[in-house]
């Protein structure tokens, strides 16, 4: 039993997108065991998003002991959003102190799930695959690139905590810890564990300057991605330039970040440094 991505607006009835393995499982029924503080149950047993925020819903399979949770962000309806953002408020977001929320070990900065050298994910955080939104966005980007005679593919998408542990340890053995830290994330600190990051085409500095890398740099924001570790920003992101590593943020936010020319750390006014 798995729950896929979900987006909600205030007032929406929450319809969880629950999938089952095997797909032909006979009993596909679950019950809510916990609903977070931004949701409420109506008299028909539906879950309604009553206000903006980030909160968790936990469900349990009716007969088996399977328990799954999903963190859902509820955004105000567009109308209210426009009202609120009519003045310069939005322009100043990046100068303001970020709103940092920790939900079950996951860090949300202004509502965005953040993983870098400062903020990590719990060992057991395991979405199991790329987020559906991120994968769909990649497919759209891949098609657009194809029209420009550019071939894109995912070289590395979702990576679990244990896979990252193996990768990082092998790099430390090869290059030593100090050097490994400039290009590989410590376990729990890899953005790949979120399911929102992917490495495209060639994971190697030879990718820089290729038509594919140039195309990605110029266009990826249109499909909801940003180049997460840009050139010349090593001190801020904590990583060497990676023209192949993109992070899915959704079209609206990716375009905003792209237009500022800032890294995600600068945009949100946060750091990326290991504590030791
Ligand atoms: Zn990567």
Q: How far is the CA of 260 from the centre of ligand 1 (A)?
A: 22
Examine residue 123 and state whether it is found in any structural domain, yes or no: no
Examine residue 91 and state whether it is found in any structural domain, yes or no: no
Choose the catalytic residue: 212, 217, 242, 265.
Answer: 242
Examine residue 187 and state whether it is found in any structural domain, yes or no: yes
The number of domains in the chain is: 2
Q: How far is the CA of 41 from the centre of ligand 1 (A)?
A: 40
**Do residues 53 and 179 share a domain?**
no
Does residue 21 have an active-site annotation? no
Examine residue 201 and state whether it is found in any structural domain, yes or no: yes
Q: What's the CATH code of the domain at 1? A: 2.60.40
Quote the radius of gyration of the chain (alpha carbons, Å). 20
Q: What's the distance, Cα to Cα, between the start and end of the chain in Å? A: 38
How sure is the predictor about 77, in pLDDT bands with cuts at 50, 70 and 90? low
Query: Would the pLDDT of 42 be above 90?
Result: no
Spatial CB neighbours of 133, under 8 Å, sequence gap ≥ 6: 5, 224, 248, 250
Q: Which of 74, 89, 109 is the last residue of a domain?
A: 74
Comparing 91 with 11, the larger pLDDT belongs to: 11
Segment 195-222, tens digit of pLDDT:
999 999 999 999 999 999 999 999 999 9
Query: Would the pLDDT of 94 be above 70?
Result: no
Range of the domain at 190: 132-268
Q: How far is the CA of 207 from the centre of ligand 1 (A)?
A: 13
Q: How far is the CA of 79 from the centre of ligand 1 (A)?
A: 37
Segment 112-158, tens digit of pLDDT:
999 999 999 999 999 999 999 999 999 999 999 999 999 999 999 99
**Do residues 51 and 136 share a domain?**
no
């Amino acid at each position: 039993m798995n729950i896929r991505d979900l987006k909600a607006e205030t007032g929406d009835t929450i319809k969880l997108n629950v999938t089952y393995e095997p797909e032909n499982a006979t009993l596909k029924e679950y019950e809510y065991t916990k609903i977070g503080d931004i949701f409420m149950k109506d008299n028909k047993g539906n879950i309604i998003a009553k206000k903006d925020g980030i909160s968790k819903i936990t469900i349990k399979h009716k007969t088996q002991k399977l328990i799954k949770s999903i963190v859902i962000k509820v955004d105000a309806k567009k109308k209210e959003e426009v009202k609120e953002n009519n003045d310069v408020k939005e322009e100043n977001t990046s100068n303001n102190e970020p709103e940092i929320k920790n939900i079950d070990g996951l860090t949300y900065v202004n509502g965005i799930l953040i993983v870098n050298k400062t903020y990590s994910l719990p060992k057991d955080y395991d979405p199991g695959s790329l987020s559906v939104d991120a994968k769909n966005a990649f497919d759209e980007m891949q098609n657009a690139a194809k029209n420009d005679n550019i071939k894109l593919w995912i070289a590395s998408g979702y990576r679990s905590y244990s896979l990252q542990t193996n990768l990082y340890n092998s790099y430390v053995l090869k290059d030593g810890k100090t050097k490994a830290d400039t290009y590989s994330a410590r376990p729990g600190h890899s953005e790949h564990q979120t399911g929102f990051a992917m490495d495209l085409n060639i994971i190697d500095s030879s990718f820089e300057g290729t038509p594919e890398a140039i195309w990605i740099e110029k266009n990826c924001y249109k499909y909801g991605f940003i180049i997460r570790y840009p050139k010349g920003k090593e001190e801020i992101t904590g990583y060497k330039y990676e023209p192949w590593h993109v992070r899915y943020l959704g079209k609206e936010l990716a375009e905003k970040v792209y237009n500022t020319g800032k890294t995600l750390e600068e945009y949100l006014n946060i750091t990326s440094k290991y504590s030791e």
